[in-house]
Amino acid sequence: MNYKTSCSLLVVLLAIVAVLGYVVVNQPVVEDYWKLRNDFLKHEQHRTFGGDFELEDWEQAANQVLMKAKRAEIDDGCKKPSKFLPSQNFFVAAEKIRRSAVFKIIQKMPKGSILHAHDTAIVSMYYVLNNITYRPDLYVCDIDRDPKLQFFDKPDHTCNWTLLGDLREKRNDVDRKIRQKMTMNSENSELAYPDSDAAWEKFMSIFIFITPFLTYRPIYEDHFYQGLLEFYNDNVLYLELRTTLPTLYDLNGTKYENVEVAKIYKKVTDRFLKDYPDFVGVKLIYAPLRNCKKIEFNEYLKIAEELKRQLPDFIAGFDLVGQEDKGKPLVEFAEGLRSIGNDVQLFFHSGETNWYGTSVDENLVDAVLLNTKRIGHGFALLKHPKVMEMVRDKSIAIEVSPISNQVLGLVKDLRNHPAAALFANNYPVVVSNDDPRMWEAKGLSYDFYEAFVGIMSRSADLRALKKLALNSIEYSSMNVVQKKKAKEIWNRRWEKFVVDLKNLRDNTEKI
């Protein structure tokens, strides 16, 4: 054997040894990889929202029904992304959401509390249009240009007022025109609202339109009662309502302001609790507009303290509302807010913006430094890691309102909502509905659906829905006794919901 042949054989032998060595040495590494991957995914699932909950056997059976429906819906969306409902504008998706098996399950679910909703936007479009606008003594003016509605005994001379009922007898387009003034509904929102400013302009115009006729005291009372009824029928058992406490009026000229309006809220709440004793209750968050002068702001603080003094168990606290991008930042009010009485809790809208490094998203910094109890929206929260640390350390709940964020131009596809990271890391999150009538929604189920199917993981299951409900009780302003009652009522309803769902097994088409 010559030298060249010997070298060739040696190279071959070394290659064989190398291959065998690779197989022998690296085979355990391959096995460890799959174990590592499995452990990695288990760790992520345990860390995610609801991952720290354990389901009982009877809950597991119900979970199978829920997850079969959810996986089918998401997997269909993966095959045809354009059909995935949370990626669509809510105005386009709403009717299809109502046909969703997951949505129908969520409708039956006891949801706990609504902790972020605004006074004159909680009642369905159907009731306002087909009930309230058909009441006696309602007048209309300028129906073809800039419609106005208001109740009168005898109309004033500021406009050419006509009884709405009389106008309806002459024209068949009246309801369509009124509806257009009361909703943001647009099948092509990109054209209707090219940016958030355009969306907010329409949004605020609706409040301006509805205020003169909704603030007629008997109507205001009926409207609030109806809002509670719609929430109750959607399996909500408690409400914390943001209100500007608008001035109310009677036809004889009597006006009601601030504390008087709050007492009217309490009177209606007490009547509702008598009619529906398994509803836990209501608390008000006094929330005037943030775009105010210093002298107005100081007056707001005095009103908040007086409200708390006269109605200590009914008033939860204080907030400032309105478009953050255009309103004054919290830092301008910091000194006054630091001086407010300790018994007036703070609940700040903050971070409802796409901007970064501006005074607008820095509202989040001031909110936590001012000891806010909860953060309204917190859309920009991920851009402030120190704020995120404080949110977790202080257990400050983030009030997420998916549909509101989409309609008002912060996010088009809810799969891209920043709350996905909050759910992934098990932050203290509650889901609320903000202003459901503005987008022709009703109750809380739509926002629960969008969060559960569109924002949370595909693997998020019944534990996540359970945690959403329990969070809404835990992070509420209810006292210890009220929370105990709320949890007892919720547990009874939860058991019935789960048993009913379990009995369906895989037959979700019957839901």
Environment class of residue 504 by beta-carbon count within 10 Å: exposed (0-12), middle (13-18) or buried (19+)?
A: middle
User: In Å, how far from its chain's centre is CA 59?
Assistant: 26
Catalytic annotation present for 377: yes
Query: Angle at CA 446, nearest 5°, toward 82 and 439?
Result: 85
Burial code (b: 16+ CB inside 10 Å, e: under 16) for 238-268 equals bbbbbbbbbebbeeeeeebebbebbebbbeb
Say if CB 152 and CB 161 are below 8 A apart: yes
Residues 328 and 291: beta-carbon distance below 8 Å: yes
Residue 347 φ/ψ, nearest 5 degrees: -135, 100
The candidate with the shortest Cα–Cα distance to 385, out of 348, 425, 347, is: 425
SS3 content of the chain, % helix, strand, coil (to 5): 55, 10, 30
Helices (H), 52-186: 57-79, 90-98, 101-108, 125-130, 164-170, 174-182
Token pair for 272: 């509702």
Q: What are the angstrom distances between the C-alpha of 152 and each of 212, 216, 329, 406?
A: 11, 9, 39, 37
Give backbone dihedrals phi and psi of 151, rounded to 5 degrees, phi first.
Answer: -85, 140
Greatest CA span in the chain, whole angstroms? 122
Q: List beta partners, residue 431.
A: 400
CA distance 428 to 372: 14
Per the annotation, the verdict on 352 as an active-site residue is: yes
Catalytic-labelled residue, pool 118, 377, 384, 417? 377
Buried b (16+ CB within 10 A) or exposed e, 293-331: eeeebeebbebbbebbeebeebbbbbbbbbbbbebbbbe
Catalytic option among 73, 324, 352, 362: 352
Q: Name the residues annotated as catalytic.
A: 352, 377
